[in-house]
Chains A and B, each alone.
Chain A
Amino acid sequence: MNRRDFLKSAATGIAAIALPLAAFEFVRPSELFATKDNLAIRWVFLVDTYKCVGCGLCVKACKNENEVPYDANVTRTWVERYVITRDGRRFADTPKGARDGFTTSRIELGGDKFQEIRNEEIEKAFFVPKLCNQCENPPCVQVCPVGATYQAPDGVVLVDRSWCIGCGYCIMGCPYGVRFFHPVHHVAEKCNFCYHRITRGLKPACVLACPFGARDIGNIKDPADPVTRIIMTERVGILKEEYGTKPQVFYIGLDREVK
């Protein structure tokens, strides 16, 4: 067999194999998953900032539940304190993500510096819990080069620890700063609404830990869900709307000072 014949028959052979293969339809796993269960779930979160007192029990519970090292200066959820004084100065801090609660009226300024504010100086002050917004249009999923972070059909954004390469692009892409590198696993890490719990019908750890009911989770596709009722009927806000990420954590009593 000469070269020309070999190439000819090789081409014919490949074509003959390729033709029956074309009859198969390629189905994406996510498509299959969607048709199989036909999920009527879209997880959303509701935070009532009027109820938050900055005790930090949610942060503690989260760290324990999700095995984020307790002393590491990273956290899946945190609470911010905002203080506006009578003379118009604005302060915000979140010492250790408020893991131990706000036990002093001093404002942390970073680099071991603090600002003392007397009570009578304060015009307005409040707490804002933060967590992953499980965006409808998540930039972190868009920028992951290997597809290690992805959005589940119920809307929650998850990270595959066995596939993440640790490039940090998702951390850079998130406008809310909810992502970080896990100090033990050395891959991207974030809040996932306690996915292991909510998929079993349980509430997330932070929701259960909050003594004042400032946090709750719900299914926006279920009109009877109390969280859905509030989002639909009351005035709620979202964070950093201008980025077009369509965040799914809704806030009651959001202030314009909230960063």
Chain B
Amino acid sequence: MKLDRRTWFVILLLMALAALPLVATLAGQEFQIAQFRRILIFAIAAVSLDLILGYGGMVCFGHAAFFGVGAYVVAILNWHAGREVPLIGTWMGTNNVLVTWTAAVLVSGGAAFLIGLVSLRTTGIYFIMITLAFAQMIYFFFVSLRAYGGDDGLRFDGDTVAFGLIDTQDDAAFYYLVLAVLCGVLYAGRRMVNSRFGMVVQACRENERRMKALGFPTARYKLAAFAIAGATAGLAGALFAAHESYISPSIMHWTRSGDLIVMVVLGGMGTLFGPVVGALAFLFLEKTLPDYTEHWMVVFGPILLLLVLFARRGIFGWFLPKEERDGGSH
């Protein structure tokens, strides 16, 4: 079987990520495992944003809120279980990840559903602003939530065993769990964007008016895509909470939503795998550029600008077949 450049690139990068804990351990740099685990968690969030931003043409400027909601759900449930403070009635919360992570997905998906219900009545710049506004409301809600630390955030003792198999205190084991979730999200996302549902969402991006004239009730498909993206971001948030054992409203600050958009654009919109590359590149640059200058944004800004101007499909676009490189909207 002859593989194209894109497939080679995906395989090699995933293999490199799989080998990372081993290499880091051999090099005596175990701390890198947790560093990269954090990057992979943001990669999952970026992939979820690409579902609506790249494929659906919905520029959501509040995606970090869904990430944050997922993280807070896990943190709050764990905090109650740890302190043995009743949450609802006599229920003390739980640190069973099966429950906490599922709850994170459902609550963030539900929040995305409600926010989408209102936001998707608008398009273009209004959609950007209204999603930003909702995200800010959620941000300030958690800032003012004194019971759970408010501005200072919430520290908790998470469950140390995920699914009775994986010790989340074991850096490498938890790393592989995150990598597996990322691969699962990429695979399911790939199936979805090529399914009937995914085709409808992409066609809505291309020409929603035409879709309505064909008889598609476009609003409900876009809303479903929005909720799915929000739920997936919530899953990433749940992993992030477990990763940090600490959560604060700063992770859903509006600049975080901007970072996610940058990751998607930098890596390649509408490619699913591109945002993984984008997350790696963005978080790497964010870490290393400040070593050279505190005004690193001055360097990073033009890099991003050049990419948007000359590589419409971002970094990953270089590895795509020619006809897909400029695909999407013209």
A binds B: no
